[in-house]
């Protein structure tokens, strides 16, 4: 049975070139990048090259890149680091109700330390209303954090409009964006959007697990969370994971190559999947933006009357791998906070699956997966 992997928002298959590079670096370039001898310098050179590759995709400079263990750590550093560093200016923070848990739980942590957090609602498509944000920003607001592409519904937030508005109302407030799902997949215009900090993760872009990065615009002051030898400009102490960082840099370059073309190809796959399911005649509902809009690689669907987990395992038996809710935290029995926030009723909440595509999928696979999904749904509904 051919395996069809449609859980690319959770994690991706590494490029073969990335695997080759990480294993070579792991076995051959084991010097400490902080050491002064030539083996240290060799490791340092590898990291410098990756820093350059990541900076290109962010549209920033090499000295603005801070390597971390992943997106979760980078979000924690950006949010807690900014809040603690700037608390003398104010203690008001803003985020949205549909953020990734690494963002939401960082804000909940800060609430325990006396910060006041405003949580923006979203509409039925998962988008925040810039006017709602406008009404919340005040003099004491020191940080606003919003994601670019939502990992469950594929909703894209209007970051350009939001960034301009933040600057008009409170030019001092820092603007942090989680671009884990968009990095290398769709164009980022962080400078134009007036973003101060952005976060990405290697394993979402066909890189290794265990590496991520915070881009922090020059001059943005942060309090480090990890104290030690002062690596990564003093913001993230600890010996760098040279092999994972090398693979991360290469994955960023390969992902962003021909970005527009790949974005279009992913969108074609997503539409083909959706159309094939519709033509099968099964009843299902779309959660989030229309298939032609939103992220090119994510579609979230509910199959009323079925339990998501049951359908997920039935698909797994057919070799198709998908997510119920968000894989980052889907072992939790609670329904998705994102799908709740966009107003799904319990029948649609309990039956929601996320299908997410990558450049490793092709059209034949996608059509086969849609046919199998339709068949599994009919079988479970007792139709066939
Ligand atoms: C939008 C978003 N932010 C952050 C993360 C966390 O990244 P990592 O798995 O590298 O910690 C994820 C992972 O699912 C994500 O989708």
Atom 5 in ligand 1: which residue has the minimum CA distance? 71
Q: What pLDDT shows up at residue 332? A: 58
Residues 137-189 have pLDDT tens digits of 999 999 999 999 999 999 999 999 999 999 999 999 999 999 999 999 999 99
Q: Does ligand 1 come within 6 angstroms of the Cβ of 181? A: yes
Is-contact 366 273, C-beta < 8 A? yes
- Report the candidate in 248, 256, 129, 115 with the shortest Cα–Cα distance to residue 184: 256
Only one residue has tokens 């997503």, namely 270
- Report the candidate in 104, 114, 165 with the shortest Cα–Cα distance to residue 136: 165
Q: What pLDDT shows up at residue 333? A: 63
Is-contact 251 15, C-beta < 8 A? yes
Task: Report how far residue 148's alpha carbon sits from residue 151's, in angstroms, rounded to the nearest whole number.
Answer: 9
**Low-confidence spans in the chain with pLDDT less than 50:** 326-328, 330
Ligand 1 centroid to Cα of residue 383, in Å, is 38
Ligand 1 centroid to Cα of residue 210, in Å, is 11
Which amino acids are annotated catalytic?
A: 328
Q: What pLDDT shows up at residue 223? A: 98
Q: Does ligand 1 come within 6 angstroms of the Cβ of 72? A: yes
Q: Does ligand 1 come within 6 angstroms of the Cβ of 100? A: yes
Ligand 1 centroid to Cα of residue 200, in Å, is 8
Q: What pLDDT shows up at residue 331? A: 60
Domains of the chain: 4-12+259-380 (3.90.1150.10), 16-256 (3.40.640.10)
**Exposure string for 130-157, b = 16+ CB within 10 A, e = fewer:** beebeeebeeebbbbbbbbbbbbbbbbb
Q: What pLDDT shows up at residue 1? A: 72
- Report the candidate in 232, 227, 171, 223 with the shortest Cα–Cα distance to residue 196: 171
Ligand 1 centroid to Cα of residue 72, in Å, is 6
Residues 6+ apart with CB under 8 A from 169: 134, 137
- Report the candidate in 186, 144, 366, 384 with the shortest Cα–Cα distance to residue 293: 186
Q: What pLDDT shows up at residue 384? A: 60
Q: Return the sign of the alpha-carbon dihedral for residues 371, 261, 299, 72.
A: positive
Q: Does ligand 1 come within 6 angstroms of the Cβ of 102? A: yes
Strand partners, 149: 156
């Amino acid at each position: 049975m051919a395996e069809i992997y449609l859980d690319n928002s959770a994690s991706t298959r590494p490029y073969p070139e990335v695997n080759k590079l990480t294993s070579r670096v792991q076995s051959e370039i084991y010097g400490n990048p902080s050491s002064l001898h030539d083996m240290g310098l060799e490791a340092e050179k590898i990291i410098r090259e990756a820093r350059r590759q990541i900076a290109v995709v962010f549209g920033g400079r090499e000295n603005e890149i801070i390597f971390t263990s992943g997106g979760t750590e980078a979000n924690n550093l950006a949010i807690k680091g900014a809040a603690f560093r700037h608390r003398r200016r104010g203690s008001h923070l803003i985020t949205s109700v549909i953020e990734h848990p690494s963002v939401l739980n960082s804000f909940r942590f800060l609430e325990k330390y006396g910060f006041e957090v405003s949580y923006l609602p979203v509409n039925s498509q998962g988008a925040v209303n810039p006017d709602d944000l406008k009404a919340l920003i005040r003099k004491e607001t020191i940080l606003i954090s919003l994601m670019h592409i939502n990992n469950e519904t594929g909703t894209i937030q209007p970051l350009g409009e939001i960034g301009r508005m933040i600057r008009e109302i409170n030019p001092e407030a820092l603007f942090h964006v989680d671009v884990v799902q968009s990095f290398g997949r769709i164009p980022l215009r962080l400078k134009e959007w007036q973003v101060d900090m952005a976060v990405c993760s290697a394993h979402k872009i066909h890189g290794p697990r265990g590496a991520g990065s915070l881009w922090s615009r020059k001059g943005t002051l942060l309090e480090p969370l990890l104290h030690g030898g002062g690596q990564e400009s003093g913001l993230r102490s600890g010996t760098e994971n040279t092999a994972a960082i090398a693979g991360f840099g290469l994955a960023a370059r390969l992902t962003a190559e021909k970005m527009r073309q790949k974005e279009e190809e992913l969108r074609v796959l997503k539409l083909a999947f959706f159309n094939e399911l519709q033509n099968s005649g099964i009843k299902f509902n779309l959660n989030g933006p229309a298939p032609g809009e939103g992220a090119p690689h994510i579609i979230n669907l509910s199959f009323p009357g079925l339990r998501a987990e049951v359908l997920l395992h039935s698909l797994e038996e057919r070799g198709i791998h998908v997510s119920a809710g968000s894989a980052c935290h889907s072992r939790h029995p609670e329904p998705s906070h994102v799908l709740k926030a966009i107003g799904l009723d319990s029948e649609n909440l309990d039956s929601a699956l996320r299908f997410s595509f990558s450049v490793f999928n092709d059209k034949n696979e996608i059509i086969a997966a849609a046919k199998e999904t339709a068949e599994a749904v009919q079988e479970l509904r007792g139709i066939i």
